[in-house]
Chains A and B, each alone.
Chain A
């Protein structure tokens, strides 16, 4: 079965060129969506693998302008793949929310900013609405019914949900609670669901209950392993590309 895969990538990790190559490889592997994370020095909502990748990208000289370059190059090469930029409040407000949203509008991408949530968003959701930039709210399974109603009242085309628990084991099944939560959401909006997904089994379990399955850390681990191989840089880039394409394919055709 073909599944909508949202492939996540850290811009500038392990360096600008390799992350550009990784984006292409994920697209060739069948990703429906690409989530490009702009590294922030203090990514408190990310796990260890992505945090380490962000630190390394910053050490390798990542700048927000380079992140937009990556996005723009990718959009030209793969115009049919929808792109979301994920980052943190500090990066968005540094030059102003409106300026950041305007850049997203120019590039034709949506935004996922986990620490600017509706009600404490510095005007992000309104600016997105005005500029036609989709702002994707993050919803957690522990959300209260009142809060969920509040979030869905924004009529987001997509919502992002981080499932920390509830998917386990080799023969993956969803817990009844999680199944109920996802089904309810699925009926109302396009759910991008993920967190710790790395096997086709997990994708098969999740796919019927979500619009797309998000895979992040698993690609970062593959990339970092391939990048450690003792090979000349062009060979390493090739290896990164091959492995990521194969992995993306195995998770988008299950």
Chain B
């Protein structure tokens, strides 16, 4: 696959206001040149090793596989990457690119906060000032990540417009960039937005899939499973296999509370329709007028109405199968893998884990199932604790406030 595609079938493209046309062209050129420059790629590889902690391990989940009695489950521990999720792969790549372009300031959007944390950390390492836009609702539910971003020295701006989630943070970052592009790089974290972002994010995340290809050489891989919000972890995880007929590639969307408007974030296997929003053409949850509908997911990172254009295209051709997992199934999967494998999935990644739990028993024992744990679940403690064991958790919060006030 070429490094730069722009369109994927009918999806993708660059549907932006005139003011952003020139900066996106500049970015496209810089990206294509950098990806052909051995110096750039060597420096990237060195930072991946020294700072991110790559390669991340592939864990044979032996207890889980035995209990489920079917295919052998393997977990790609992306959550062991520095800052706790795959997001840092892309943040490092884009910061190196921004530095090459002579940009002196970084802005980014964040949903769950993982992309914001990764961006803030990399900016701290490279000494770049950094501003992160985050929806007010997401700030409330992912407070620990806000604390971390600020600890890294980033300025976190609360976005109070619209639904106050990821899409509104993207709007705000685009607004900032429209006035600041001469010296600022917009470090988009999902495999979506106007071109060249979907191509760029895939290339910087493809390191996940390339490691998996190495690590699974001796396995009979039946399927690979990843969660899909915007799609950065899944497209990177699937990348080396997209042009091949096997293995099965399964994308898991946020099933939320179940069917119904505003209850989930299921675009491909639900009520999504083609549209153009936030600079790209893809599948979105839209009403008849083209207004973006509200979404819900227990995981902030999947709570978004659009999907990366390449994933939408691959869903249409059938190369990627889409399914969904509900909030309840996700929390059960978090508990299951914690108890039996000593691994705590992020709520986003646990969508993939939940589908593995259903799929493994239906497959023969000599086949392997690879699950991408794109992030670890430390950041979710304020959400998962109140679902999994509410009473002691609320008591702890009350005591903590009392200690603070006395």
Residues of A whose CB lies within 8 Å of any CB of B are 40-45, 47-48, 51-52, 55, 58, 63-64, 89-95, 114-117, 120, 122, 137-140, 142-144, 147, 162, 164
Contacts and interface: CB of A to CB of B under 8 A. Distances in A.
B278 A45 contact: no
Closest 10 CB pairs of A and B: A94-B290, A90-B290, A89-B276, A44-B171, A41-B292, A91-B290, A41-B291, A44-B174, A45-B17, A140-B19
Interface stretch (B8-16, B229-237, B262-270, B367-375): B8-16
Interface string B149-182: 0000000000001100001101100110011000
Contact of B18 (A52, A55, A64, A140): A140
Interface residues of B, number: 31
A217 B247 CA distance: 54
Nearest to B168: A42
A31 to B, nearest CB: 24
11 contacts: A41-B292, A44-B170, A44-B174, A47-B175, A58-B291, A90-B276, A115-B279, A117-B21, A138-B18, A143-B22, A147-B21
Nearest to B178: A45
Contacts of B187: none
B18 A122 contact: no
A43 B292 CA distance: 11
A52 B286 contact: no
B275 interface: yes
Contacts, number: 94
A117 B167 contact: no
A44 B289 contact: no
B346 interface: no
Interface of B: 13-19, 21-22, 161-162, 167-168, 170-171, 174-175, 178-179, 275-279, 284, 286, 288-292
A51 B179 CA distance: 17
A138 B276 contact: no
B22 A93 contact: no
Contacts of A45: 17, 19, 175, 178
Contact of B277 (A42, A63, A164): A42
A137 B276 contact: no
Contacts of B162: 41-42, 51, 55
B161 A120 contact: no
Given A42-B278, A45-B178, A90-B276, 19 more contacts: A40-B290, A42-B168, A43-B171, A44-B171, A45-B17, A51-B161, A51-B162, A51-B171, A63-B289, A89-B276, A90-B290, A90-B291, A93-B290, A94-B288, A94-B289, A114-B17, A115-B15, A116-B15, A143-B18
B17 A117 contact: yes
Contacts of B22: 142-144, 147
Nearest to B182: A142
A164 B179 contact: yes
